Structure 1
Amino acid sequence: MKIVVVGGGSTYTPELIDGFARLRDRLPLTEIVLVDPNRERRQLLAAVSQRMLLRQGHAAVVTETDDVAGASEGAVAVLLQLRVGGQETRQRDETWPLECGCLGQETTGAGGLAKALRTVPVVLNIADQVRAANPEAWIVDFTNPVGIVTRALLSHGHKAIGLCNVAIGLQRYFAGLLDVQPERIALDHVGLNHLTWERGVRLLDVDEVVAPTSGSAKPGKDLLPSLLETQGELIATRMHQPVELLRRLEAIPSYYLRYFYQHDAVVQEQLNSPTRAEQVAAMEAKLLELYADPAVDTKPELLSNRGGEFYSEAAVQLVASLVSDRGDVQVVNTLNQGTLPFLPDDFVIETPAIIGAGGARPLAQAPIEPRFAGLIGHVAAYEQLALEAALHGGRQRVADALLAHPLVGQWDLANDLTDRLLAENAAFLPWTA
């Protein structure tokens, strides 16, 4: 069984390789192809990846190339984990919006829009190459902004599913708090990528784990109320949000919701702190030094600080279920299909879904409270406009998207941010010439 990783020169890659090795019974791979335009990086990552597999007694062969189409031939899945422009563009995405008093972040706000504009055309070009070489291969997108990129893929008829590690990270976290196996935790997860809430944390019986839900009822006992009562302070600290907010919402908002609920406070923090891009760049330099050491054949501890925790486990679970038609429940980014009735069917949401050979079938959701539905609808409208700008270009489309974003929403500010975004990204947006 062959799998392809586009962006295989990323420092993330050993996280994936470690998961492939540990979970070999679930996904018995024989070949892993790392695709990256940077020859030096992909060769370095291929070498350390092969050493890691050998260390764990895994027989898969790691190869590397810059040929997307050739790599895709015979593959069951192609994973996308790329960053157009590298950490340098991320650094700018997290800097120039602050000059306008706005959040500097790579997946939402003006910085997130810049990343979407750079990324969507590149991903669609890669997906076209995959489809031409192997139309049966699944495209699994981990590239941010996942919701917008996944919708771009699906709107162009690609066999694609989006993936994020927020839900699996929280599942593991709650399992640790409750001292149970992660498989016994099911989340009532609702929203859009990087805009989600847990409205329930359910403890499944063993037989409910073995026999996946049909989607008609919520199995298990909801422990969220007791968790908020007894562990609220601890959970709130992890989410970097006030415990009073969590208890008021009767839900656990993802870390990314602090950008909305505490926007001005976060901007002040960012103005007085190094950017995340600077921190990651420093980590990446150290990781690359480690990977170059021929004695290194395990995942470095430093990688846990890089981000993407449990990404490998989420990826293995998803690909294995797509290939084996398992029919289990996983949180993915996929078409709404009536799940959230206030959004069009072709919008992409992040939701628990039954995963099988035909893709993802979202589970039914309980009615969405207005305090969540309002923000979901607002950001979904922005994502629609952002996708149109990424697909068709034009200053006006960029300005329309920013004007619609709940973290911008002012005429003068949207126009100022538009001018700065276009100037910062002219090298990546040919239509600006």
Structure 2
Amino acid sequence: MAGGIKIATIGGGSSYTPELVEGFIKRYENLPVDELWLVDIPEGQEKLDTVGALAQRMVKRAGLPTKVILTTDRRAALDGADFVTSQVRIGRLPARVLDERIPLSHGMLGQETNGAGGMFKAFRTIPVILDFVREVQELAPEAWMINFSNPSGMIEEAILNYTDFDRAIGLCNVPINMHAGIARVLDVDESRLELQLQGVNHFVFATDVFVDGVSVIDEAVEKYAHVSEDEALSMKNFMSIPFSPAFIRGIRAIPCPYHNYYFHTDEMLSEELREFEEGNVRGEVVSRLEDELFEIYRDETLDIKPGQLEQRGGARYSDAACNLIESIHTNRGDIQYVDVRNNGCIEGLPSSSAVEVACRITADGPKPLATGELKPRIAGYVQMMKGFERMVVEAAITGDRDLAVAALEMNPLCPSDKLANVVVDELLEAHRRYLPQFA
């Protein structure tokens, strides 16, 4: 491709796409995207057409020469791409609702990326993403692949250990929200703050906090130990509960919001059971929100990203992807939080495994910043979650039902051996058409 940049977005019919387009528009000077290919499956054609038309209007309004191309031909989209982004949901939102409702029907937490729900999302998604990786290797071997399909960390784990592709980067909006939230608690500008992270996707801790390069972890821990419910780090897609001062001081770290599921399990379960009874599990709420968004997107006078998109739990995801792509393209050397191969960055976790850490972003990809030994106060839990992830990935590749049961039992959100068997079998049956490896 002469001069311009070609970007292929797999899952281009997603409701998040307008945020991605807005991100490319505002970075055009440093990241001149010549062609943005939005690709989806034939079943997603209507959504692709709707969101693609909005994308084209947004680019036109910005007065940019970027061509937005809509297609269901993934190979054409990938051919010669410089960057590939992936934002897919195999089985779409009805599958997410099953991931949430089936465990909850047995009194077990059902969540999109944690426990049984996260495990089955991984089972559906990993084989498909590995197919994408093989196509990228064939058609765009020099491309960087940015994946923000969930569960992002387990997908990165699979790519690192079951392919020889080393240009895939996992991305999540949780560390970005942590960065913003901790800056707010400390009352400093986000640009002055950097975090040291240790852990895995959706199970990560800030183990050091720097303002202008100087560690302020003691002050950060003390202030975070006393935050109100409104100030606690939170996500739009689930309830936020502050941790006790004793816990925060005791671990001398700041947990990500998803730790609510593990350290406030009773409260989270009781809230989700109430939503279950009301027909308001998160997947059902998001389905209604998506219907509203696409109704808004169909307005042919709309040519900007609508404010209602902020209500989706993944707000800032797409902007983070654009920021990462811009930093690679410009060799910016800034610090971003991504999922990459550990390679000794966190001593105490396997070298080949995916970890979520601070990286310096260069033209040669992310360079993880060494964190030293996994902090002893969080080590046991992080190692257990990494063990769970590795079992899930192996089961996703091999279709081993017994390994799936064992993996779920290893997860702290599973209350018993009996329930692990029941829930795995019900979810295998519910998702049968998306799980050929388990046939």
TM-score (norm 2): 0.90
Residue 264 of structure 1 pairs with residue 266 of structure 2: yes
- The residue aligned with 1:358 is 364
Q: State the shift of 1:365 in Å.
A: 1.0
Residue 134 of structure 1 pairs with residue 140 of structure 2: yes
Q: Distance in 2 between matches of 1:83 and 1:420?
A: 20
1:255-309 CA distance string (max 9 Å, x none):
1101000112211111101111111111100110111110111111110001222
Q: State the shift of 1:357 in Å.
A: 2.6
- The residue aligned with 2:27 is 23
Q: State the shift of 1:334 in Å.
A: 0.5
- The residue aligned with 2:191 is 183
In structure 1, which of residues 161, 164, 168 is the aligned counterpart of residue 172 of structure 2? 164
CA contact (8 A) 2:146 2:168 kept: yes
Q: State the shift of 1:233 in Å.
A: 5.3
Q: State the shift of 1:253 in Å.
A: 1.2
The 3 A distance-change label for structure 1 pair 186 and 288 is: same
SS of the equivalent of 2:146 reads strand
Q: State the shift of 1:230 in Å.
A: 6.4
In structure 2, which of residues 400, 415, 420 is the aligned counterpart of residue 414 of structure 1? 420
Residue 192 of structure 1 pairs with residue 200 of structure 2: yes
In structure 2, which of residues 36, 42, 45 is the aligned counterpart of residue 39 of structure 1? 45
Aligned length: 420
Q: Distance in 1 between matches of 2:192 and 2:368?
A: 19
Which is worse superposed, 278-287 or 194-203?
A: 194-203
SS of the equivalent of 2:329 reads helix
CA contact (8 A) 1:336 1:347 kept: yes
Residue 255 of structure 1 pairs with residue 257 of structure 2: yes
The one-letter code sitting in structure 1 at the alignment partner of 2:232 is A
Q: State the shift of 1:83 in Å.
A: 0.1
1:129-160 CA distance string (max 9 Å, x none):
12211100111110111111112122202220
The residue correspondences of 1:369-408 to structure 2 (distance < 5 A) are 369-408=375-414
CA contact (8 A) 2:225 2:244 kept: no
Q: State the shift of 1:237 in Å.
A: 6.7
- The residue aligned with 1:278 is 284
Q: Tell me, which stretches of 5 or more residues in structure 2 are unaligned?
A: 235-239
Q: State the shift of 1:377 in Å.
A: 0.5
CA contact (8 A) 2:341 2:353 kept: yes
CA contact (8 A) 1:26 1:316 kept: no
SS of the equivalent of 1:161 reads strand
SS of the equivalent of 1:27 reads coil
Q: State the shift of 1:330 in Å.
A: 1.1
The one-letter code sitting in structure 1 at the alignment partner of 2:56 is Q
The one-letter code sitting in structure 1 at the alignment partner of 2:197 is H
Residue 315 of structure 1 pairs with residue 315 of structure 2: no
Which is worse superposed, 89-98 or 34-43?
A: 34-43
- The residue aligned with 1:347 is 353
- The residue aligned with 2:223 is 227
The one-letter code sitting in structure 2 at the alignment partner of 1:4 is A
1:176-199 CA distance string (max 9 Å, x none):
455654322211222100001122
Q: Distance in 2 between matches of 1:229 and 1:102?
A: 29
Q: State the shift of 1:345 in Å.
A: 0.5
CA contact (8 A) 2:203 2:259 kept: yes
In structure 2, which of residues 114, 118, 123 is the aligned counterpart of residue 108 of structure 1? 114
In structure 2, which of residues 151, 170, 174 is the aligned counterpart of residue 145 of structure 1? 151
- The residue aligned with 1:10 is 14
1:243-264 CA distance string (max 9 Å, x none):
4343443322111101000112
The residue correspondences of 1:76-87 to structure 2 (distance < 5 A) are 76-87=82-93
Q: Tell me, which stretches of 5 or more residues in structure 1 are unaligned?
A: 205-217
- The residue aligned with 1:240 is 241
CA contact (8 A) 1:94 1:105 kept: yes
SS of the equivalent of 1:235 reads coil
Q: State the shift of 1:231 in Å.
A: 4.4
CA contact (8 A) 2:102 2:426 kept: yes
The 3 A distance-change label for structure 1 pair 278 and 387 is: same
Q: Distance in 2 between matches of 1:253 and 1:127?
A: 32
- The residue aligned with 1:214 is none
Residue 289 of structure 1 pairs with residue 295 of structure 2: yes
CA contact (8 A) 1:27 1:316 kept: no
Q: Distance in 1 between matches of 2:346 and 2:197?
A: 12
Q: State the shift of 1:324 in Å.
A: 2.8
CA contact (8 A) 2:186 2:220 kept: no
Q: State the shift of 1:229 in Å.
A: 5.9
In structure 2, which of residues 326, 330, 333 is the aligned counterpart of residue 327 of structure 1? 333
Q: Distance in 2 between matches of 1:314 and 1:2?
A: 18
